[in-house]
Amino acid sequence: MTASTDTTADRERAPTLEPIDWEVVASERDAHRARVTARSLVTAACFLGLLAAWAFDHVARASHEPFLTLATGVAFLGEDGVLTASPSHVDWLFGLTLLVGVRYALVPLWENPRLTRYYWRRIARNRLGVYSLYFLAGVFLVGLIGPLVLGDPEPQWDLGHTPPVGFGGTFAHPLGTTRNGEGILEIVVAGARVSMQVGLIATTISIGLATVVGTTAAFVGGRVDDLLMRGVDLLMTFPTLFFILFLVYIYGGNLFVLVLILAFTTWGGQARLIRSEALQRREEAYIDAARAAGGGPWYVIRRHVVPNVSNTVVTGATLLIPIVILFEAVVAFLGFGDPSVWSWGRIIADGRESLASAWWVSTIPGLVLFLTVLAFNFLGDALRDALDPRHEVNRGR
Amino acid sequence: MTDDSLLSIRDLRAQFHTDEGVVRAVDGVSFDVGRGETVCLVGESGSGKTVTAESITRLLATPPGRIVGGEIRFDGTDVTSMAEDELRTIRGSRIAHVFQNPQGSLNPVYSVGAQIGEAIRAHRRVSRRHARARAIDLLESVGIPDPAARVDDYPHEFSTGQKQRVAIAMALACDPDLLIADEPTTALDVTVQADILDLLASLQAERGMSILLVTHDLGVVARLADRVVVLYAGTVLERADVVDLFERPAHPYTRALLECLPGVDGEVEPIGGTLPSPIDPPDGCRFAPRCPHAIEECHAGGRPPPSTVGDDHVASCLGYHREYRGAIDLERHPTAEETQRVSDRPDAGIDGGGPR
Amino acid sequence: MAWFVGRRLVWALFATFLVVTLTFALLAASPNPETSQAAWQAAQDGSDPEEARALVDQQHGAGDSLTTQYVSYMVSMFSLDWGQSTTYNEDVTSVIANAWVYSAITVIPATIIAVVVGFGIGLYSATHQYTTADYAATLVAFFGVSIPNFWFAIVLMLVFGELLGLTPISYDSEVPFWSLEHLSYLVLPITVLATAAVASEMRYARAEALEYVSATWTKTARAKGLSETAVTIRHVFRPATVPLVTILVADLVGIIFATAYVVEVIFGIPGLGYVSYQALVRMDTPLVLATTLIPVFVTIVANLCQDLAYTVLDPRIDYEGRSP
């Protein structure tokens, strides 16, 4: 490589190659392999740990006692400073989703700080996107921690409707109460958890399905492609909401089932998108190179196709989350949701009866839902601009 | 040049607003196009030749582009101050354009006959049937075989070369006085390129129109041009008669360009470095950072004024300026060391790019 | 072209067949329906679960083999013998026949508004990129697609119905059908329906039109001396209709049907969405099935129309190669 900077006068002199110390290369390679192995082990341990905890939770312990009791000594936390957790199936699945998120999103970002900074700079050009990210991080943390701190909404039958602070209410119930005296704040916080859980879990499953189907169809091609895409066509002839309601009718509206239904009914569009993206990638030289180097089809899909469609996947996922959240809210609003869970849709429906006398019951949770969905859409748009080079054309020159 | 020239451009300046800053794509360009004459605008990509060509009928996308100064006189009237409506009566009727990419310059959802007819009916009050008949004539005159049958075909049913012929037919629809052809052959196969150039030459001979040809290809220049304008980084470096330019190139840049042509003396000599930044162009001569003859004075002050070096032959180089004539020896072949110095200059490596 | 249309037609029929089969499979294979329905009952506090179960069995021909059940199910579905609705004590087909018009009076105006206004604003935005109007339209569109339709409906009811008293709060089917008064009942529902659809169509129209705003042929058209209006309509909008049509149906069906469902339930308009809701609440399986399948059939027909429109709009279409 040094040859190119030589002057024309030195052309005759043979270029010298930098000697390679193969021992150093080998040791670096070994170190890298060790790191990769260690990471795989840690990942596997985390997943196994989660599985074991779930198994213990559902087999070993009696259902009425909490899974985890944590005496914090801080009086206002939980009941007399004792935090208890009794995770449901959905909570466990949420844990799994978060673990997947950490392993396949945060860890790679952490390990490639340069790339992370590059993407961040590109996203940061869209201020609305950045504010949305902060807002959503807030909603996420509130949903994760809030219910532990505030506890479940407790009815106070004698209290009845009380307005929010600033409209004649008290700080005991800053956002007012329902007809049954349940605090709107507690309900909104509980609803934040439900929305985040539904949004993240269902989207993860849905995008996972879409990625598998999309890349497989594109890469295997032929009959498999035809069959898979015809299946997607068929799935997409069902107007999604009607399909969801029909499945809820058959299988019931328990949150765990609803999450699976939402995941199963929403992956079609993304699968198409990922397929077309992967089809373009398939033509590129590095795929041929990987094949020529002896990579089997699954290896090539996993190592070369999937990472290169990941921008599409990330953007698609971000824009799918608000759709899923809205579907869950609609199902809950119509009264087909899980009656044991405080969803934003459910509280909005509850407030309808007393709309004129207690406007805050419907409007406040609705506003939070609206802002959450809006923030996801802004963030998705910012991500698309930042990650999808094809949209460059339309950006400012 | 003369007062009766068809098109006369004086000190044209056009800019683009970008996230990185204001791109001075055209920075003081002057030249003339006489009646019945073919003038070639030559330059590397990013030299501002397309922006110049599109400024003439103000086709420049605004925003982000904007003409910020100078004068464009077409047949005696200033185009830059013309109202949009007035301008429209000139576009397509007196000044027509042919663009580089024939694939994209035809709308895929209309038949070619409809698109040619559209150009006619934009300026002449004629019936659809009449326009169609004229479209068939035009297709025939640009050498589309069996035009009566092909007039209702869609663009995708034509080959790339034929599409360019259709685009030329469309441009000729209202017998323009000036045809502006922006790299009309760049996107075509080599064999087809020659056909299109021959077509342009014969059409000009038939109709006596002027042609402003934008190109980076000196082969095209040699084939068609009467006169040549050499652009570099938004400025004119040399203007000359075509024979003069090839026989006696005056500006070091023009000489370097000719050196790049294969087959002159066997050895192809690339020009070191790249175009300067169009956002923050260097002081003095724009070519100085890449010029092997440049002296201290070339890097400072304003741009070198045009000096007359022959009959209707002008070069903007201090080497021809009275004060510096002795200091710069343009005839000396640069040594290898000087060439090296040029490509090592830090500002020579900035990627100019220009508006995309 | 005939071959292409024929193929699309065959696919539409095949898709219909598959969808009906799928619903049968879902109903037949639902895991332990008694339990899930009992859970439903607990949640919904409605009629006797066994009764509902018996009705399903009755329709499917209880006790028969799966194949016999399947055949009789398919035969009755395709001969429009969709059974009795327990909710309305009527044939399912006549319930549908009475209800569809109430859906049409909101869905059709909203669709027209969505297409005209949405495309109009989108086109304006695209041809005036980076202007204040463009930013404003884009921002409003974000709000439009993000606002939860059911909540929007409630807020509109609260503001215009309860606080300002400008519009009636819930639908009254006693109102004469062809009257201004009837229109006042429909203003809010149509507004809710149109908002999301306009916003969505606007975004698509803007994105597609932008592809062509900077196309060389628009520059050619300008160079020919066409007016900006002619350039926008003939050379930006017309080519954009080709990709737009392929999005239009799926998008409008997705948004408008889903919103209509919610809107009908909230405002009490006795259209198909309302009927479907009643059927779901009352475990009226034949009616649930019908109200689920009808939107699917409408979608299949709409997709077919979309494909036909595509052949008219795009001269480049390759009838052999394009995957449906």
What single-letter amino acid sits at B237? L
Assess if residue A17 is contained within a domain: no
Assess if residue A317 is contained within a domain: yes
In this structure, the answer to whether residues A274 and A386 fall within a common structural domain is yes
Element (H, E) at A37: helix A22-55
Provide the phi-psi class of C165: left if phi over 0, else alpha when psi is between -120 and 50, else beta. left
pLDDT level of residue C225 (50, 70, 90 thresholds): confident
* Nearest residue, CB atoms, A242 vs list C40, C142, C292: C292
Q: Residue A161: phi, psi to the nearest 5? A: -65, 125
Calculate what percentage of chain A has a pLDDT beyond 70. 86
C-alpha closest to that of C191 among C285, C260, C238: C260
Least confident of B199-203, B227-231, B266-270, C128-132: B266-270
List C residues 241-270 in contact with A (Cβ-Cβ < 8 A): 250, 253-254, 257-258, 261-262, 265-266
In this structure, the answer to whether residues A47 and A175 fall within a common structural domain is no
**Can you give the pLDDT at residue A367?**
92
| Count of the separate structural domains present in chain C | 1
Last residue of a domain, one of A64, A87, A110: A87
Last residue of a domain, one of A37, A53, A87: A87
pLDDT level of residue A373 (50, 70, 90 thresholds): very high
* Nearest residue, CB atoms, B19 vs list A7, A9, A396: A396
Least confident of A165-179, A253-267, C57-71, C223-237: C57-71
C-alpha closest to that of C238 among C215, C258, C261: C215
List A residues 377-396 in contact with B (Cβ-Cβ < 8 A): 396
Q: Measure the CA angle with vertex B129, ends B126 and B134; round to 5°.
A: 75
In this structure, the answer to whether residues A266 and A364 fall within a common structural domain is yes
Provide the phi-psi class of A224: left if phi over 0, else alpha when psi is between -120 and 50, else beta. alpha
Bridge partners (DSSP) of residue B27 are B13
* Nearest residue, CB atoms, C235 vs list B107, B156, B170: B107
List A residues 127-186 in contact with C (Cβ-Cβ < 8 A): none
Cβ atoms within 10 Å, residue C89: 8
**Can you give the pLDDT at residue B46?**
78
Q: Residue A92: phi, psi to the nearest 5? A: -65, -40
Partners of chain A (3+ Cβ pairs below 8 A): B, C
What is the arithmetic mean of pLDDT over C196-208?
89
What is the arithmetic mean of pLDDT over B3-13?
82
Assess if residue A126 is contained within a domain: yes
CB contact under 8 A, A8 and B16: no
Here the CATH number for the domain that contains residue C214 is 1.10.3720.10
Partners of chain C (3+ Cβ pairs below 8 A): A, B
* pLDDT tens digits for range A305-339: 777 778 888 888 888 999 999 999 999 999 888 88
CB contact under 8 A, A378 and C142: yes
Pick the more confident residue, C32 or B219: B219
B40 within 8 A of B229, measured Cβ to Cβ: yes
**Can you give the pLDDT at residue B350?**
35
Assess if residue C60 is contained within a domain: no
In this structure, the answer to whether residues A175 and A253 fall within a common structural domain is yes
Assess if residue A369 is contained within a domain: yes
Sign of the torsion formed by the C-alpha atoms of B254, B256, B260 and B266? positive
Assess if residue C263 is contained within a domain: yes
**Can you give the pLDDT at residue A63?**
55
Tell whether B334 is within 8 A of chain A (Cβ).
no
What is the arithmetic mean of pLDDT over A379-396?
65
Element (H, E) at B313: strand B313-315
* pLDDT tens digits for range C285-323: 888 888 888 888 888 888 888 888 888 887 776 544 433
CB contact under 8 A, C315 and B118: no
**Can you give the pLDDT at residue A68?**
59
Here the CATH number for the domain that contains residue A182 is 1.10.3720.10
Residue B63, preceding peptide bond in cis (omega within 30° of 0)? yes
Residue A43: domain span: 28-87
C-alpha closest to that of A165 among A147, A177, A156: A177
What single-letter amino acid sits at A149? V
CB contact under 8 A, B154 and C223: no
Whether pLDDT at A383 is above 60: yes
C-alpha closest to that of C111 among C303, C257, C243, C244: C257
Which tokens hold the place of B251?
């500006």
* pLDDT tens digits for range B77-109: 888 888 888 888 888 888 898 888 888 888 888
Last residue of a domain, one of A87, A108, A134: A87
Please report residues of C whose CB lies closer than 8 A to that of A246. Answer: 23, 26, 288, 292
pLDDT level of residue B351 (50, 70, 90 thresholds): very low
Please report residues of A whose CB lies closer than 8 A to that of C33. Answer: 250
Please report residues of A whose CB lies closer than 8 A to that of C324. Answer: 233
Q: How far is C136 from chain B (nearest CA, A)?
A: 18
B95 within 8 A of B33, measured Cβ to Cβ: no
Q: How far is CA C169 from CA A149, B356, C130, C160, C181, in A?
A: 40, 56, 40, 8, 13
**Can you give the pLDDT at residue C80?**
78
Average pLDDT value over all residues in chain C = 81
Write out the DSSP string of A247-308: HHHHH---HHHHHHHHHHHS-HHHHHHHHHHHHHHHTSHHHHHHHHTT--HHHHIIIIIHHH
Tell whether A246 is within 8 A of chain C (Cβ).
yes
In this structure, the answer to whether residues A50 and A115 fall within a common structural domain is no
Assess if residue C185 is contained within a domain: yes
What is the arithmetic mean of pLDDT over A121-141?
89
B178 within 8 A of B75, measured Cβ to Cβ: no
Please report residues of A whose CB lies closer than 8 A to that of C250. Answer: 236
Per-residue b or e along C287-324, where b marks 16 or more CB atoms closer than 10 Å to that residue's CB: bbbbbbbbbbebbbebbbebbebbeebbbebeeeeeee
Assess if residue C252 is contained within a domain: yes
CA dihedral A304→A305→A306→A311, nearest 10 degrees, is 100
Assess if residue A21 is contained within a domain: no
| Count of the separate structural domains present in chain A | 2
* Nearest residue, CB atoms, C224 vs list B54, B108, B122: B122
Please report residues of C whose CB lies closer than 8 A to that of A396. Answer: 130
3 state DSSP class of B294: coil
C-alpha closest to that of A250 among C22, C46, C68: C22
Residue C142: domain span: 98-281
C151 within 8 A of A345, measured Cβ to Cβ: no
**Can you give the pLDDT at residue B333?**
62
Assess if residue C183 is contained within a domain: yes
Assess if residue A243 is contained within a domain: yes
Whether pLDDT at B227 is above 60: yes
In this structure, the answer to whether residues A83 and A137 fall within a common structural domain is no
What single-letter amino acid sits at A370? F
Chain A residue with CA closest to C254: the answer is A239
Least confident of B179-193, C35-49, C149-163, C268-282: C35-49
Please report residues of B whose CB lies closer than 8 A to that of C130. Answer: 63
* Nearest residue, CB atoms, C239 vs list B99, B100, B107: B107
**Can you give the pLDDT at residue A388?**
67
Assess if residue A23 is contained within a domain: no
Task: For chain A, state the CA radius of gyration.
Answer: 26
* pLDDT tens digits for range A134-174: 999 999 998 888 887 777 777 777 777 777 777 777 777 77
CB contact under 8 A, A397 and B19: yes
* pLDDT tens digits for range B44-76: 887 888 888 888 888 887 767 888 888 888 888
Assess if residue A20 is contained within a domain: no
In this structure, the answer to whether residues A152 and A165 fall within a common structural domain is yes
List B residues 62-101 in contact with C (Cβ-Cβ < 8 A): 63, 88-93, 96-97, 99-101
Average pLDDT value over all residues in chain A = 80
C262 within 8 A of C273, measured Cβ to Cβ: yes
Rounded Cα distance, B232 and B105, in Å? 27
In this structure, the answer to whether residues A251 and A161 fall within a common structural domain is yes
